[in-house]
Structure 1
Amino acid sequence: MTLAEDGLPPLREVIARHGLAAKKALGQNFLLDLNLTRRIARAAGDLSGCDVLEIGPGPGGLTRALLAEGARRVVAVERDARCLPALDEIARRWPGRLEVVHGDALELDPEARLNAPWRIVANLPYNVGTELLVRWLTPERRGGGWPPGWSGLTLMFQREVAERIVARPGAKAYGRLAVLAQWRAEARIAFDVSPRAFTPPPKVWSSVVDLRPLPAPRHPAEPDALARVTAAAFGQRRKMLRQSLRTLRPDAAEMCAEAGIDPTLRAEALDIADFCALARALRARETARS
């Protein structure tokens, strides 16, 4: 058996020994290149004084990189019980620095397990990546507030999703996800990853996205109102706002006028400030009605 730089077996040997064929139902695509996982870990910045939350570690390639790059402590959340023995081997190599949680990341309260400052670094399972990101961007849904507990998100998505996160008004990829992400964070694509880096190789390229929270949102708005406005506007993006926003209020045209927005525009023409203005107008009308 050969050993990698961290004294543990190469990932191909780990996967073969534990019978870890990736499961499509769990959105699994394993990264085998430890040089690439180290690059992802480094994209998160200096980890020496941070706890790190990792979602879907699988056989532990990124987990090993996070520990090797000096993360103070890693909490790795894995649904697939088959991966636990491999992760346990890593925990024994790095005593006291890796906690493996067997469970669903959608049900996890990170604040209860991580000490500040903490970051999230993950090759996210494709089937829950977007939902997790929206949760982390809207901590109010769980009784939290802004700024959030996390100090950075370094996440791998399908390239298409990454482009939606960083898209600007007028772009084909511009939509609800771009508004929610850029309203509260600086978002950039750090680098792209070829399908050949994974086993099994997906049909699309992937991208690592880095998000850093702003001290305060770019423009005032209530998160729930902004989420509803963007969902309605982009849910019927081919329609003018006076039509698409009628799912929220029958007086959508008047609400647009109150926000200083031309009701004949379509969602893709609006910037974040415009959507925040619409969210404030929506809340004002709802409050007046109640």
Structure 2
Amino acid sequence: MDGLPPLRDVIERHGLAAKKSLGQNFLLDLNLTRRIARTAGKLEGCTVIEVGPGPGGLTRSLLMEGADKVIAIERDERCLPALEEISTANKERLDVIAGDALSTDFAAIAAGHDRVKIVANLPYNIGTELLVRWLTPDNWPPFYESMTLMFQREVAERVTAAPGSNHYGRLGVLAGWRTRAKIAFDVPPQAFWPPPKVTSSVIQVEPNREPLEVDPARLQKISEAAFGQRRKMLRQSLKAFGGANYLERAGIEPTRRAETLSVEEFVKLANTPAG
């Protein structure tokens, strides 16, 4: 569709067997990768940051769907020649940064670009950590105007979970605090090479411009402690912060459990001094 060889041919020619150690599962169907790109909304006038492009299936789709620029961060040096071919074919609209996404300053990369979106089939082994970093910077609004991300279905359900759900936990609190997150569609294992053992899901995340004020690190600690012992009452799971007295000062019944608290109540807890 874009004048470049089929992805299977690219993978074979460059010897790009997926590495489990890098959390790699390559998407080969360009119709599917174009659907992911379209889920991100209109890409004209946007710079898209992609993490873990691999042989470039989603990268190609982002360019076909009109992104002004794609900045791809790739750790696997074997993939760089394949990505260079895409850059050449697209008149340098693709910039490739060779490096580890966990060591990347994304805000610095986004500086100077007016409209930035993150679109990525995230490597399974770093996806959750990257999401938490993107949700909890000290400065808000963030450098991105939206995120379109693929996770294992189980992780996607945790990110988008509401209070009272079995999937509700730390990720649901952090995402619900600063963003509106929803599952857009599922992707079956057979869409990947090699096929994973689980279904994946694409989620769409839109930042709230003015979320409730709270220290991000403090909210992380409170929610992590509360859900670390989710079957216990909060007076026990938050004992290190002051237990029942702490909860009462925040106006929250000590016998409640973490999954019953709203995001607003978690923010109230995080804003209450321990003691």
TM-score per shorter chain, which class?
Answer: over 0.9
Normalising to structure 1: TM-score of the pair? 0.92
How far is 1:111 from its partner? 2.4
* Matched-pair identity in %: 62
Matched, 1:208 2:202: yes
Deviation digits for residues 15-62 of structure 1 (CA, Å, limit 9, x no counterpart): 111111100000000000000000000000011111010000000000
After TM superposition, the score normalised by the length of structure 2 is: 0.97
Range that drifts further, 156-165 or 236-245: 236-245
1:1-290 alignment to 2 at 5 Å? 5-114=1-110, 115-140=113-138, 145-217=139-211, 219-247=212-240, 249=241, 251-282=242-273, 285=274
Counterparts of 1:97 and 1:110, CA distance in 2: 18
Q: Indicate if the aligned counterparts of 1:47 and 1:71 stay in contact, CA closer than 8 A.
A: yes
Q: C-alpha separation between the residues in 2 aligned to 1:234 and 1:85?
A: 44
Q: Where does the alignment leave 5 or more consecutive residues of structure 1 unmatched?
A: none
Letter in 2 for 1:75: I
Aligned length: 273
CA RMSD of aligned residues (A): 0.9
In 2, distance between residues paired with 1:260 and 1:54?
43
How far apart, in 2, do the equivalents of 1:85 and 1:273 lie?
48
Q: Aligned to 1:216, what secondary structure does the other structure show?
A: coil
Alpha-carbon contact 2:47-2:69 (below 8 Å) kept? yes
Question: Which whole-Å CA distance do the structure 2 matches of 1:270 and 1:150 have between them?
Answer: 28
Q: Report the alpha carbon displacement of residue 238 of structure 1 after superposing the two structures with TM.
A: 1.1
Contact 1:139/1:146, CA 8 A, preserved across alignment = yes
CA distance in 1, matches of 2:92, 2:21: 32
The answer as to whether partners of 2:53 and 2:74 remain within 8 angstroms in 1 is yes
Aligned-partner Cα distance in 1 for 2:255–2:225: 15
Structure 2 spans left out of the alignment, 5+ residues: none
Residue identity opposite 1:230 in structure 2: S
Residue identity matched to 2:102:
L
Distance 1:111 1:93 in 2: 28
Shift of 1:112: 2.2
Would you say the 8 A contact 1:116–1:149 is kept in 2? no
Q: Which runs of 4+ in 1 moved over 2 A?
A: 111-114
Do the aligned residues in 1 keep the contact of 2:137 with 2:216 (CA within 8 Å)?
no
Measured after TM superposition, the shift of residue 186 of structure 1 is 0.6
Q: Are 1:12 and 1:32, in contact at CA under 8 Å, matched by a contact in 2?
A: yes
For the residue of structure 2 that corresponds to 1:25, the secondary structure is helix
SS in 2 for 1:54: strand
